Amino acid sequence: MNNELLDELNGIARTMVHPGKGILAADESTGTIKKRFDSIGLESTEDNRRDYRELLFRTEDAMSENISGVILYDETIRQKAADGTPLVKLIEQAGSVPGIKVDMGAKDLAFHPGEKVTEGLTGLRERLAEYHQLGARFAKWRAVIDISRGGDRTMPSYSCLTANMHALARYAALCQEQRIVPIVEPEVLMDGDHDIDRCYEVTEQGLKILYTALFEARVALEGTILKPNMVIAGKKSDKQASTDEIAEKTVRCFRNSVPAAVPGIVFLSGGQSEREATENLNTMNRDFADQMPWALSFSYGRALQASTLDTWKGDKGNAEAAQRAFAHRAKMNGLAQKGAWTEAMEDEA
């Protein structure tokens, strides 16, 4: 990779982890956003999806002060606001970086019951070239890693881990070739009954395989962003960890497996509540800032939008209140990125 391209990618990546800012994951597929809209009794039409995302992107305080980038879905990157302005332009005008989800979803891994591999590499080079023309400057690819239930250790298999990390590396190399910063997202799911130590073990193993694959694919780490899970117990575990333990073990896991050349790590929320995701991020940045060579921030979907969606309910009359809810949640996570959040600040909403 030539120095000019590396500098361009590194500059974008550093913008995405600017102090006090993080990424809005607004890349829900049509099926996923339908489920979100079903929860508020709203039909998932193209106009309703556009109106909701326009509401987010026009929340000036949040977008300009606390949102560094927005991950879009294929439909959204092509849409225009009600006044005809491309949604990508709204994001750019707020000083945020437009991004795009490019994977085609997790499919069953042959002969590995219960395990998935993410697909979408076929034709990816051409799709990335088009997305760059549409304004995307970063992309996202999600790998899904599940952990066996009941203490069984068959999942994840080594085959599942290597298949997914190899796909992430191929995707990342294609992104950089097309002047797009790849977000690599190896998500260890928190749906099971595993404890935090099992999550640590699987997360560390997966990350070490990932960075070996990225090296072999000649991906420049300075032009990448990592989007991982926090090291956390499964939701069905009867042994839940404290915020302090989550923070300490997550930072320790990353120090053992994520190279210092990576500009930043942006967490997925993975089913945590809004406040849990904020508090855990804050504890890491408050207590371990001097131990981390990379910026630690957020790339939340539900943990940025749950209150906003519940407030909006598809009613234009609720738009301002919904924007206030979004601005507050973005502000809380912006503070957490600097380790400056306190529980008392939640009452400002």
- Give catalytic residue positions: 185, 227
For 343, phi then psi, to 5°, come to -60, -35
d(CA 55, CA 81): 9
Tokens standing for 298? 């957020």
Sign, Cα dihedral of 239, 209, 268, 67: positive
Q: Is 177 exposed, middle or buried (0-12, 13-18, 19+ CB in 10 A)?
A: middle
- DSSP H/E element including 285: helix 274-288
d(CA 86, CA 141): 24
d(CA 322, CA 106): 32
Question: What distance lies between CA 5 and its chain's CA centroid?
Answer: 24
Answer for the pair 215, 251: CB distance below 8 angstroms, yes or no.
Answer: no
* CB atoms closer than 10 angstroms to residue 120: 17
Tokens standing for 315? 């009613």
* CB atoms closer than 10 angstroms to residue 133: 9
* CB atoms closer than 10 angstroms to residue 227: 24
Answer for the pair 340, 326: CB distance below 8 angstroms, yes or no.
Answer: no
